[in-house]
Amino acid sequence: MITELISVGTEILLGNIVNTNSAYLSEKCAELGLSVYYQTVVGDNETRMRETIQTALDRSDIVILTGGLGPTEDDLTKEVTAEVMGMKLVEDRHSRKLMEAYLEQYKKNNPQRKITANNYKQAMVPKGAIVLDNHNGTAPGLVLEKKGKTAILLPGPPGEMRPMFEESVFPYLRKKQPEIIYSQMVKICSIGESQVAEEIEDLIESQTNPTIAPYAKTGEVHLRITAKGKNEKECKKLIKPVVKELKARFGRNIFATEESKSLEEAVVDMLKEQEMTLSLAESCTGGAIAARIVNVSGASEVFLQGMVTYSNKAKRRCLDVSKSTLKKHGAVSEECAAEMAKGGRKASKTDICLSVTGIAGPGGGTKEKPVGTVFMGCSYKGCTQVREFHFQGNRARVREQTVAHGLAFLRDCMMERADKENN
């Protein structure tokens, strides 16, 4: 079934708020096996709204609208949609009672505010519509059905829209759609998008059901495997051999097969599995790698210390980087990164230490070491490795790439350590 999303609100067009509703609804529609061909944003203008809704109903089976259901004069979604579909507005007593109870409680919690009559505009609904209770606000949701077309009207605030969709709309749409779509993610690091694309070119060319879609992220490549079937069990059965083939091709570069698992979570899990403790010695990233690590619940079990040694004095004092190394090779060098990693591990008494030092820009670059030059060191028992990177982009972009590749480098070193101990 062809589905279209319309987000209503001039504030979205002006960039005053970020339109997260469309991203959420697109994902949910995909789960349901609905084909979303169009997404539109329209301001609080009656003429343009009417044209947008009419166009959507002409070309789509289901139109989902968010926003414009409030009590003010510029909240026109319900009125315009009802007009386009030829449905008269009448008061819904059930919605009125729910609204009155909600507003009375609101008044108790906010004694200085009064309840105004325009609130009850929200209790007016198109005659014959399915009314969806709003347990988190005042505006009810609505399902309008006419001549094989369906318009679903939902509140704009995500805190109201999302629970209403989960509770009422998702089950309603599930009954309309006999097939479902189910996806699984395979996440890869340490190799680039072009290499991944080349490795799976034959799979993509021959795919039917399921399909593989690559997505590039900073320092990572995600492969979404999507299957269509009668139920989740059937979809998983179709996906399983594809995931098995991807594991055979990419092996240890795959760090997760769950969509919710991040690279930092994979690193923390590996530290726990290997019973290793971690320290970080950061320069150009200013603690950003540590921030990623502490995003993970339970990181305190393995992450003991992070050191931001931005100046040469700090590198010497905290990490025991030699004065001669800094003078001869500079702070951004293979030699300095190695000494930072070894010194950080020694100072923190951890099993492994990752160091980063580089030129994030926009100034500081030279012909020999241009902006974007980064050295990373990793020290663990009996081994210290250093890698040189050259990143493109502005200061923020260089730092972002350094963090992502730093986590991947750390993971690679832990796997190499495990291999040495097992052989």
| pLDDT tens-digit readout, 6-31 | 999 999 999 999 999 999 999 899 88
- Domain ends where: 213, 229, 256? 256
Residues 244 and 323 placed together within one structural domain of the fold: no
* Count of structural domains, the chain: 3
Residue 353: half-sphere exposure toward Cβ, Cα within 13 Å? 30
Q: What is the CATH number of the domain that holds 315?
A: 3.90.950.20
Q: Is the pLDDT of residue 102 over 80?
A: no
Scanning the structure block, which residue is given the tokens 């200013």?
A: 286
Full-model pTM: 0.77
- Domain ends where: 176, 206, 231? 176
Which pLDDT band holds residue 115 (cuts at 50, 70, 90)?
low
Residues 333 and 227 placed together within one structural domain of the fold: no
Which pLDDT band holds residue 113 (cuts at 50, 70, 90)?
low
Residues 207 and 76 placed together within one structural domain of the fold: no
CA angle, residues 242, 248, 254, in degrees to nearest 5: 85
Which pLDDT band holds residue 402 (cuts at 50, 70, 90)?
very high
Residues 122 and 157 placed together within one structural domain of the fold: yes
Mean pLDDT of the chain: 94
pLDDT at position 313: 97
Picking from 414, 94, 144, the residue whose alpha carbon sits closest to that of residue 255 is: 414
| pLDDT tens-digit readout, 157-203 | 999 999 999 999 999 998 888 778 889 999 999 999 999 999 999 99
Residues 231 and 274 placed together within one structural domain of the fold: no
Buried b (16+ CB within 10 A) or exposed e, 123-158: bbbbeebbbbebeebbbbbbbbeeeebbbbbbbbbe
| pLDDT tens-digit readout, 226-247 | 998 988 899 999 999 999 999 9
Spatial strand order of the sheet with 2-8 comes to: 35-42, 2-8, 62-66, 149-154, 141-146, 130-132
Q: What is the CATH number of the domain that holds 193?
A: 3.30.70.2860
Quick one: 194 exposed, middle or buried, by C-beta within 10 A (0-12, 13-18, 19+)? exposed
Mean pLDDT over 397-404 rounds to: 97
* Nearest-angstrom CA–CA distance, 308 and 327: 20
Residues 155 and 6 placed together within one structural domain of the fold: yes
What percentage of residues in the chain have a pLDDT greater than 70? 98
Residues 270 and 246 placed together within one structural domain of the fold: no
Residues 359 and 401 placed together within one structural domain of the fold: yes
Could you tell me the CA-to-CA distances from 68 to 8, 19, 80, 192, 197 in Å, in that order?
A: 6, 14, 10, 44, 43
Q: Is the pLDDT of residue 347 over 80?
A: yes
Scanning the structure block, which residue is given the tokens 């909240």?
A: 75
pLDDT at position 73: 87
* Nearest-angstrom CA–CA distance, 285 and 114: 51
Q: Is the pLDDT of residue 225 over 70?
A: yes
Q: Quote the domain boundaries for residue 70.
A: 2-176
Residues 15 and 123 placed together within one structural domain of the fold: yes
Q: Is the pLDDT of residue 114 over 80?
A: no
Which pLDDT band holds residue 321 (cuts at 50, 70, 90)?
very high
Picking from 336, 331, 338, the residue whose alpha carbon sits closest to that of residue 385 is: 338
| pLDDT tens-digit readout, 379-391 | 998 899 999 999 9
Residues 42 and 99 placed together within one structural domain of the fold: yes
Residues 286 and 247 placed together within one structural domain of the fold: no
Q: What is the CATH number of the domain that holds 11?
A: 3.40.980.10
* Nearest-angstrom CA–CA distance, 401 and 275: 28
- Domain ends where: 131, 157, 176? 176
Residues 401 and 416 placed together within one structural domain of the fold: yes
The partner residues of 211 in beta bridges, in order of sequence, read 226
Mean pLDDT over 253-279 rounds to: 97
Q: What is the three-class DSSP state of 197?
A: helix
